[in-house]
Structure 1
């Protein structure tokens, strides 16, 4: 890769890591449904200027419902209910494990021995993290968070049905799907008055956080990532996503004073190591290479 593009890949990973912190700041003022709705409403603004890609609506809706709505609503709900930001940034990256597993079930694509080894290592890390659940956040919050990587993995596989279309246009229109159902959910759960009041009384920190998450992390960063995947092989680009949990954890430590006990920290490191084994191994199959990494 050219040095400039290496810099872009690192910048995208840093943006996605910082987006976990920005999401947490926004969730101090907005409910998970409303925050996620605003995220995609902002990210969908380019739809005013780009044409809908040549993808059927049913495919767009299916991809967006899993890759975006399901993934980020679960993530936001879990963070709002006490799951530490740094831990969430690691758990979401486990989507790589589920992508490979679901590809076996759906497409009979058999993983290589190195991929299987990576899955085993990451699974051990997840079990170690599970051993820390219940102390500073509930089992229910952790269970909801696990919906995020599972939904993300399903979206990765559905994304195969939208190949050979402009990346920026595709993701702009994918962002158009979640806002209305999420806003309806916010009205149903929080009530119209509370929802409107939260929007009217948002602080400058809240607005800046939402603009960062919606415009920079979701819209711009995905476009840059798509450009890199267009110009280089996924094997060259995707490993940069391993920087995301480290950036998210470090930023959370600085901003929120988040700390990790020995068991949880070891589990987080082992999860990332297992994913690294999967992504960096030579593979004849396409599934992990086609799997997009986590944004926040």
Structure 2
């Protein structure tokens, strides 16, 4: 990594970290303000308006091979991820739904090994294991009822997001196209993927009250348009697996919000789990140890 990139590494990570912190509020917003049992409609309202807004701002459309790439990334990062995310949010307590996303770094490590030929370092694997341990401790909540469908949706969403994050890094972006446009492409593609599913499965849109409108505006503008711009900006500047480890901040944020705003109890074991999850986040950001340079004599011997 060059000196210039090293100088910008920490600020880029700090700014990108705002995204999963904001995403942690999704679960509270969903359960407290949005229409019940409408995960597909909620996913649609979060994705498509935000994508169209970004397209209008950037006035840039994909062309050539990027039409297909935008569609694939849009399905992985948005079209599949959002419905799974909201299905988990509707069927599980906020903290539990949020922490399932913490397994995303483990999926990202596996996908990066296959798609980017990045051999997982011992430190990354350890960080992933620490994150999973933290997740497990937070899930062990005395009064939480774990629904199988909700848990399965949470894990499937983590896998989809992990694959999408790594592919976003692998494919990069066309010359002269920034992360704002990339976010617009993916959100629009994902929203168009969700739209017919929402209509067929859930029927006509529900009547929205003031709370629901406010919730959708927050999710669409802050939790999606702004958040995904920061997320894809981070992916373009630092390793994809490092960005994926920032996702551990989402369940931490969800659990803290659930405790502060929704009166969801946190046991000492869960607090320990949150601390461990934060430790996994930090460990996942540390650069690999530099390899010692071989001397001329060692090179000759080799």
When normalised by structure 1's length, the TM-score is 0.78
The CA deviation at 1:269 is 4.1
Q: In 1, Cα distance between the equivalents of 2:211 and 2:29? A: 9
Which one scores higher on RCO, CA 8 angstroms, separation ≥ 6? 1
Please show how residues 1-296 of structure 1 align to structure 2 within 5 Å: 11-29=18-36, 31-45=38-52, 46-49=54-57, 50-54=59-63, 56-81=66-91, 83-128=92-137, 136-159=145-168, 160-164=170-174, 165-191=177-203, 195-196=204-205, 198=206, 201-227=207-233, 233=238, 238=243, 242-282=248-288
For the 8 Å contact 1:62–1:158, the answer to whether it is kept is no
Q: Deviations over 1:140-167 (max 9, x none)?
A: 2111111111100111122121335311
Unaligned runs of 5+ in 1: 285-296
For the 8 Å contact 1:29–1:202, the answer to whether it is kept is no
For the 8 Å contact 2:103–2:158, the answer to whether it is kept is yes
Name which one, 1 or 2, has greater alpha-carbon Rg.
2
Q: Deviations over 1:89-124 (max 9, x none)?
A: 332132111101222234442111211222332343
Q: In 2, Cα distance between the equivalents of 1:10 and 1:153? A: 16
Q: In 1, Cα distance between the equivalents of 2:129 and 2:194? A: 36
For the 8 Å contact 2:21–2:249, the answer to whether it is kept is yes
Farther off after superposition, 133-142 or 50-59: 133-142
Q: In 1, Cα distance between the equivalents of 2:99 and 2:45? A: 24
Q: Deviations over 1:61-108 (max 9, x none)?
A: 111111112212111001111x12223333213211110122223444
Q: Deviations over 1:158-193 (max 9, x none)?
A: 2121335311011101111122332322222223xx
Q: Describe the shift of the 1:22–1:61 C-alpha distance in structure 2 as closer, same or farther (beyond 3 A).
A: same
Q: What RMSD over aligned residues (CA atoms) do the two structures have, in Å? A: 3.3
Unaligned runs of 5+ in 2: 1-6, 291-302
When normalised by structure 2's length, the TM-score is 0.76
For the 8 Å contact 2:33–2:215, the answer to whether it is kept is yes
Q: In 1, Cα distance between the equivalents of 2:38 and 2:282? A: 34
For the 8 Å contact 2:173–2:182, the answer to whether it is kept is no
For the 8 Å contact 2:98–2:254, the answer to whether it is kept is yes
